[in-house]
């Protein structure tokens, strides 16, 4: 029995045609670089995808800069491995590396977790691509201590300096009895607490930074 199929992928608008020969237990895909055969058992594993990524409202992103590719590559390669499709070292026939087929889904996952300005931007593999500078606790403490809190616009720099020293938004939120989303809005300069609250929160941030000074392990909330 032979069945003709078309496989659709987020980054391929026209899909890939294939032919499944159940007698030989072989699937032949018509790739741009020429036909390629796969064992049907392998294909069943791929088609039984163990994850689902919802298509963004604006559609899949299909064009990526070199820096975006480097940032999203760890996610894309992980998706390929989850898919049982980690044929790294091969190309898709269009001059692209194998992992690039998963970039649209990787991008949707990254942006769905806040993108560069949110949790995703704090990932170890993302920071070098987001332009965020790491500070030592001592450097961050100087920024926090010297900030003019009478100017609301400086609050974002205070929070950013604290987080740049390795103190996560969740730790700050727990310390000030607030929400992580609020801390992230502070960092981006969208909102700021009131004048008296800024003074009190600054003292707590400095205590957090003192607790991490000279330490290489995860920060503590004990001040």
Output the pLDDT for position 32: 64
**What backbone torsions phi and psi does residue 29 show, to the nearest 5 degrees?**
-105, 135
Computed on alpha carbons and rounded to an integer, the radius of gyration of the chain in Å comes to 24
26: β partners:
21, 39
- Largest CA-CA distance found in the chain, in angstroms, rounded: 77
pLDDT level of residue 159 (50, 70, 90 thresholds): very high
In whole angstroms, what is the distance from residue 161 CA to residue 183 CA?
Answer: 12
Q: What is the pTM of this model?
A: 0.50
Query: Is the per-residue pLDDT at 2 higher than 60?
Result: no
CB 165 within 8 A of CB 139: yes
Tokens of 199: 């003074």
Computed over every residue of the chain, the mean pLDDT equals 79
pLDDT level of residue 31 (50, 70, 90 thresholds): low
Output the pLDDT for position 23: 64
Listed in sequence order, the DSSP H helices in the chain are 40-47, 66-82, 103-112, 127-130, 137-146, 155-164, 169-176, 180-187, 195-212
pLDDT level of residue 130 (50, 70, 90 thresholds): confident
For the stretch 183-194, pLDDT in tens is: 988 988 889 999
pLDDT level of residue 217 (50, 70, 90 thresholds): very low
What is the distance of C-alpha 191 from the center of its chain?
A: 24
The three-class DSSP label of residue 145 is helix
């Amino acid at each position: 029995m032979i069945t003709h199929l078309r496989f659709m992928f987020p980054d391929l608008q026209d899909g890939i045609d294939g032919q499944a020969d159940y007698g030989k237990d072989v699937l032949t895909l018509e790739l741009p670089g020429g036909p390629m055969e796969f064992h049907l058992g392998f294909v069943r594993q791929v088609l039984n995808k163990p994850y689902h990524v919802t298509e963004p409202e604006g559609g899949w992103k299909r064009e990526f800069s070199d820096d975006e590719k480097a940032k999203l590559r760890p996610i894309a390669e992980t998706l390929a491995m989850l898919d049982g499709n980690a044929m790294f070292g091969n190309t898709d026939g269009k001059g692209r590396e194998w992992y690039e087929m998963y970039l649209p889904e990787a991008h949707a996952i990254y942006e769905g977790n806040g993108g560069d300005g949110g949790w995703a931007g704090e990932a170890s593999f993302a920071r070098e691509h987001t332009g965020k500078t790491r500070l030592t606790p001592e450097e961050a403490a100087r920024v926090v201590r010297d900030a003019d809190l009478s100017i609301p616009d400086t609050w974002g720099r205070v929070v950013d300096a604290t987080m740049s020293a390795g103190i996560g938004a969740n730790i700050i939120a727990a310390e000030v009895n607030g929400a992580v989303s609020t801390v992230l809005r502070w960092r981006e300069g969208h909102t700021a607490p009131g004048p008296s609250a800024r003074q009190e929160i600054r003292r707590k941030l400095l205590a957090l930074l003192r607790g991490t000074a000279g330490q290489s392990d995860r920060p503590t909330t004990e001040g």
